[in-house]
A = this chain, B = another copy of it.
């Protein structure tokens, strides 16, 4: 489905979205994923099936929206006082969450019911925003060498972290799920920070 109505907080649209999302989560927990149907979700949410079809198109698109909601990070990356520690901890946690059984199911759902790519883009934007927070913090600490006494390498750009830390993790999750360990996350970060002082 293309244009989704903007949800005014507290408006009817927002209330419908919240109750339909909640119905999906409850029914999934109670009866399992395979049992979900649009009429079942509608009945639980107290809306008509046509409300769901109008707004989401079909079950797969609804599941994609619910998955993206669940992939939204609920905390800021922890502050360990240094870029290397922050990025390592964040990458370890990202790998952990995304490669869990639940994480894999959400990534899959997010991609599948997403004809215009908006939900996939949102997943990527969540990761990029977390990486930005880590890098901004390093910059505020004066860690990136910009304007420093010279010699030190700059902190990596966000795009480099997306390409060389986030992308390899997500590629493995989707295409070759072996080798997804904490050590792997650390190695990716070490490589991305290559040239920076420890």
* Interfacial residues, chain A to chain B (CB-CB below 8 A): 108, 111-112, 117, 120-121, 123-124, 162-164, 166-168, 170-172, 174-177, 188, 191
Contacts and interface: CB of A to CB of B under 8 A. Distances in A.
B177 A117 contact: yes
Contacts of A124: 171, 175-176
B175 A168 contact: no
A164 B162 CA distance: 11
Contact of A163 (B111, B112, B121, B188): B188
Contact of A174 (B111, B163, B176, B177): B111
13 contacts: A111-B174, A120-B174, A121-B175, A124-B175, A124-B176, A163-B168, A163-B171, A164-B191, A166-B171, A167-B168, A167-B170, A170-B174, A171-B171
| Tally of this chain's copies | 2
Contacts of A176: 120-121, 124
A171 to B, nearest CB: 4
B164 A175 contact: no
Contacts of A166: 171
Nearest to A108: B111
Contact of A175 (B112, B123, B172, B177): B123
Contacts of A177: 117
A112 to B, nearest CB: 6
